[in-house]
């Protein structure tokens, strides 16, 4: 139990760790105030019993003294309990909020391969369910478990001042309670891991179902997919019930131990009184204490079953944060002039004998290529040949397995990652827009950009007119992924976003592949505006987008099989020539 709490304390940042430490210190004072109630009861009982035995009038001073002690106990308890609760709540929730942000920042610098190997549901579960559970459970568990231990421990210490024999009975009950509580933590150990795993599976299946809803409808798979989703939800439900069923018997046993320990204190007190070794006042005080002693401990004991959830949650989050990043700062200091020498300038890009593989499947095989600054390089080739992967390696979405990729004569791994990314803008075939206003989607790379600059970028990207026709113009909130816009509209907004960034290197990954003929002219105008005075690398399947490139390379099975200009490659009669012939046939085909 203490190992889990220590692990959570280490997981917290310094500021919130201070809050938890402070809450424990204040919690000790809270326990002292709670223990004062025994003193108030003892003063009153002694006064009443003394007056009855001596046959004298009951002194009001005793009443006022008992009342004063009780007031101090209640007021001090309220204040310290409020401070403890506030600090623990702030510490728990702020820690998890900061860790979510920290995880998000860390994910930015992980190789893209990590996201291929780990499902979206697993990542989402850690940042949502797991962190939410840690925030909720940690706050309550720390508060209840620690407070229960403190309250009970201090009351037992106080009992030694009244009668050491009853204190030993209470201490034995406390030990037996903790022994039973150990079995509760053992009982839920494996189920807690199953529960967190089931959470991730459920989120993953829900996301898969929602994201693939079009295919589900189109192929009439609603029944099959719904059954799979229901199966995952049902499995998680069974695990939750299993956890509860394991906790309930041990929780009831804990409760019985607490109650019987109180009964043992009562019986021992009565026995010692009847044997003449304890006076009536102490006996009466011990009888009252027997009802108070285990209340806080019992409540905390039930929450201790959740400590395993904290342990697993902290472990999973820490595991992500411990993943090695792609050398974020580079070899040079990010603040050094040398590290930024080529930043935001038109520089040559060069790949030298690079290899790359997904697991054991080689995707890029010994490719060497020089891309001079301010030129256009078109990449064509069969699907699955490695074109997109090659572009991702140039921009360091992944690190090469062998060879080097350099920008301005310096290995891209030697640059600060954020500074390196300032040199690249991307327009992908599948555009992702965020659930936000159109203006904020355009200024995504420059959040503080003024509206005039946003509109200027939109005009260059040929999307100002259709944006202005929308009910709220640039303040129109679009659905997640840009679901409320057409493919051409999303592409043009993506281009406006790239224009705003104004990076010297533009990578176009089949940006016009899925655009209808009505939007193609405007989109091509937008691409032309984007690529003025830039170094352009384009993956394309359309003849008009590649024939005027400064160099065309053909990638097939991870290798460069052809390289040259349009006319040269057509004369060779190889893959590129066949590519051109097939495109001409497609263009000339009519109904």
Average pLDDT over all residues of the chain: 79
Mean pLDDT of 146-158: 80
pLDDT at 353: 92
CB contact set of 353 (below 8 Å; sequence gap of 6+): 366, 367, 368, 402, 403
Q: What pLDDT is attached to residue 116?
A: 64
Concatenate the DSSP letters of all residues of 250-273 into one string: HHHHHHHHHHHHHHHHHHHHHHHH
Mean per-residue pLDDT, 329-348: 50
In the chain, the percentage of residues whose pLDDT exceeds 70 is: 83
Among the residue ranges 23-32, 213-222, 281-290, 338-347, the one predicted with the least confidence is 338-347
How would residue 221 be classed by pLDDT, with cut points 50, 70 and 90?
Answer: low
**If pLDDT is split at 50, 70 and 90, which confidence band does 346 have?**
low
Helices 14-54 and 2-11, axial angle in degrees (round to 10): 140
Under 8 Å between Cβ of 391 and 398: no
Q: Is the pLDDT of residue 519 over 80?
A: no
Tens digits of residue pLDDT in 91-131: 888 888 888 888 888 888 877 767 765 666 677 777 777 77
Contact at 8 Å (CB) between 331 and 418? no
Task: Give the contacts of 440 (CB within 8 A, at least 6 positions apart).
Answer: 434, 447
Q: Which long-range contacts (CB under 8 A, 24 or more apart) does 247-252 make?
A: 247/184, 247/187, 247/188, 247/302, 247/305, 250/180, 250/181, 250/183, 250/184, 250/187, 250/305, 251/184, 251/301, 251/302, 251/305
- Bridge partners of 552? 378, 564
β-pair type (505-509, 424-428): parallel
Q: Is residue 183 pLDDT above 60, yes or no?
A: yes
CA angle 80, 85, 86 (to 5 degrees): 100
Instruction: Calculate ∠ Cα 390-394-397, nearest 5°.
Output: 85
pLDDT at 48 over 80: no
Question: Is the pLDDT reported for residue 591 higher than 50?
Answer: no
Q: Could you tell me the pLDDT band of residue 335, with boundaries at 50, 70 and 90?
A: very low
Q: What is the Cβ-side half-sphere exposure of residue 583, based on CA atoms within 13 angstroms? A: 18
Q: Residue 75 has what pLDDT?
A: 92
pLDDT of the residue at 512: 61
Is the pLDDT at 15 greater than 80? The verdict is: yes
Q: What's the average model confidence in pLDDT over 419-439?
A: 82
pLDDT at residue number 184: 74
Using CA atoms, how far apart are residues 349 and 371, in angstroms rounded to an integer? 5
pLDDT: is 189 or 564 the higher one?
564
Contact yes or no for 538/378 (Cβ under 8 A): yes
Structural tokens at position 244: 């509860």
* Confidence at residue 84, expressed as pLDDT on a 0 to 100 scale: 85
pLDDT score for 355: 92
How far apart are the C-alpha atoms of 383 and 270, rounded to whole Å?
88
The pLDDT score that the predictor gives to residue 326 is 73
491 in Cβ contact with 511 (< 8 Å): yes
What is the CB-side half-sphere exposure of residue 360 using CA atoms within 13 A?
Answer: 0
Task: Please report which confidence band the pLDDT of residue 362 belongs to, taking 50, 70 and 90 as the band edges.
Answer: confident
- Which range (5-19, 379-393, 573-587) has the least confidence? 573-587
Count other Cβ atoms within 10 Å, centred on residue 588: 7
pLDDT for res 342: 45
CB 497 within 8 A of CB 491: no
Q: Report the predicted TM-score, pTM, of the whole model to 2 decimal places.
A: 0.66
pLDDT band at 55 (very low <50, low <70, confident <90, very high): low
Cβ atoms 158, 210 nearer than 8 A: no
> What pLDDT, on a 0 to 100 scale, did the predictor assign at position 333?
39
| The pLDDT of residue 112 | 72
Is the pLDDT at 182 greater than 70, yes or no? yes
C-alpha to C-alpha distances, 70 to 42, 65, 75, nearest whole angstrom = 11, 9, 9
Cβ-based neighbours of 65, under 8 Å, separated by 6 or more: 43
> Is residue 331 over pLDDT 60?
no
| pLDDT on residue 370 | 92
Percent of the chain with pLDDT over 90: 4
Mean pLDDT of 320-342: 56
Please compute the mean of the pLDDT values over residues 187-195 and round it to a whole number.
74
d(C-alpha 119, C-alpha 209), whole Å: 14
Please give the average per-residue pLDDT across 188-203, as a whole number. 76
User: In which residue are the tokens 């809270």 written?
Assistant: 30
Res. 223: pLDDT tops 50: yes
What is the structure's pLDDT at 352? Answer: 92
Torsion of CA 70, 76, 79, 82, to 10 degrees: -80
Band (pLDDT 50/70/90 cuts) for residue 90 is confident
Mean per-residue pLDDT for 156-167?
85
Q: Mean pLDDT, to the nearest integer, of 37-45?
A: 80
User: How far, in Å, are 370, 383, 438, 467, 484 from residue 472 at the CA level?
Assistant: 46, 41, 10, 9, 14
Q: Between 247 and 64, name the one with better pLDDT.
A: 64
pLDDT: which is higher, 153 or 138:
153
């Amino acid at each position: 139990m203490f190992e889990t709490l220590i692990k959570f304390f280490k997981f917290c940042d310094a500021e919130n760790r201070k809050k938890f430490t402070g809450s424990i210190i204040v919690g000790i004072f809270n326990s002292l105030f709670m223990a004062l109630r025994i003193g108030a009861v003892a003063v009153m009982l002694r006064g009443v019993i003394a007056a009855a035995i001596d046959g004298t009038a009951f002194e009001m001073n005793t009443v006022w003294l008992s009342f004063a002690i009780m007031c101090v106990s209640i007021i001090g308890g309220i204040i310290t309990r409020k401070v403890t609760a506030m600090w623990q709540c702030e510490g728990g929730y702020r820690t998890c909020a900061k860790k979510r942000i920290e995880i998000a920042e860390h994910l930015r610098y992980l190789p893209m391969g990590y996201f291929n190997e780990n499902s979206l549901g697993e990542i989402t579960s850690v940042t949502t369910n797991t962190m939410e559970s840690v925030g909720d459970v940690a706050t309550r568990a720390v508060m209840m478990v620690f407070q229960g231990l403190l309250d009970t421990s201090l009351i037992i210490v106080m009992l030694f001042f009244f009668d050491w024999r009853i204190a030993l009975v209470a201490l034995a009950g406390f030990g037996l309670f903790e022994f039973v509580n150990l079995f509760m933590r053992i009982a839920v150990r494996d189920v807690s891991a199953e529960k967190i795993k089931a959470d991730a599976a459920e989120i993953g299946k829900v996301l898969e179902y929602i994201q693939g809803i079009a295919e589900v409808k189109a192929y009439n798979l609603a029944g099959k997919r719904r059954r799979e989703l229901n199966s995952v939800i049902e499995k998680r439900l069974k695990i939750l019930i299993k956890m509860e069923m394991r906790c309930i018997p041990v929780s009831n046993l804990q409760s019985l131990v607490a109650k019987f320990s109180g009964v043992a204190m009562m019986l021992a007190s009565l026995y010692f009184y009847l044997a003449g070794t304890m006076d009536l006042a102490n006996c009466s005080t011990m009888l009252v204490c027997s009802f108070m002693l285990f209340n806080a401990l019992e409540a905390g004991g039930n929450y201790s079953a959740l400590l395993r959830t904290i342990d697993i949650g902290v472990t999973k989050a820490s595991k992500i944060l411990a993943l090695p990043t792609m050398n974020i700062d580079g070899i040079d200091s990010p603040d050094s002039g040398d590290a930024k020498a080529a930043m935001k300038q038109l520089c040559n890009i060069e790949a030298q004998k690079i290899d790359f593989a997904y697991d054991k499947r080689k995707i890029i095989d010994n490719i060497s290529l020089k891309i001079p600054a301010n030129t256009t390089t078109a990449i064509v080739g069969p699907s699955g040949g490695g074109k997109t992967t090659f572009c991702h390696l140039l921009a360091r979405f992944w690190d090469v397995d062998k060879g080097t990729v350099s920008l301005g004569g310096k290995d891209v791994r030697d640059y600060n990652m954020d500074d390196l990314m300032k040199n690249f803008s991307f327009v992908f075939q599948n555009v992702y827009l965020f659930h936000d206003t159109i203006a904020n989607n355009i200024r995504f790379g420059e959040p503080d950009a003024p509206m005039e600059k946003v509109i200027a970028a939109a005009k260059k990207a040929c999307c100002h007119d259709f944006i202005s026709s929308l009910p709220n113009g640039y303040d129109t909130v679009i659905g997640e992924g840009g679901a409320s816009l057409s493919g051409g509209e999303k592409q043009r907004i993506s281009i406006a976003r790239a224009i705003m960034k104004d990076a010297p290197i533009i990578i176009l990954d089949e940006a016009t592949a899925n655009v209808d003929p009505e939007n193609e002219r405007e989109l091509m105008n937008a691409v032309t505006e984007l690529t003025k005075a830039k170094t352009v690398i384009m993956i394309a399947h359309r003849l008009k987008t590649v024939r005027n490139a400064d160099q065309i390379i053909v990638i097939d099975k991870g290798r460069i099989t052809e390289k040259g200009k349009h006319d040269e490659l057509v004369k060779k009669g190889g893959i590129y020539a066949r590519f051109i012939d097939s495109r001409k046939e497609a263009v000339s085909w009519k109904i």
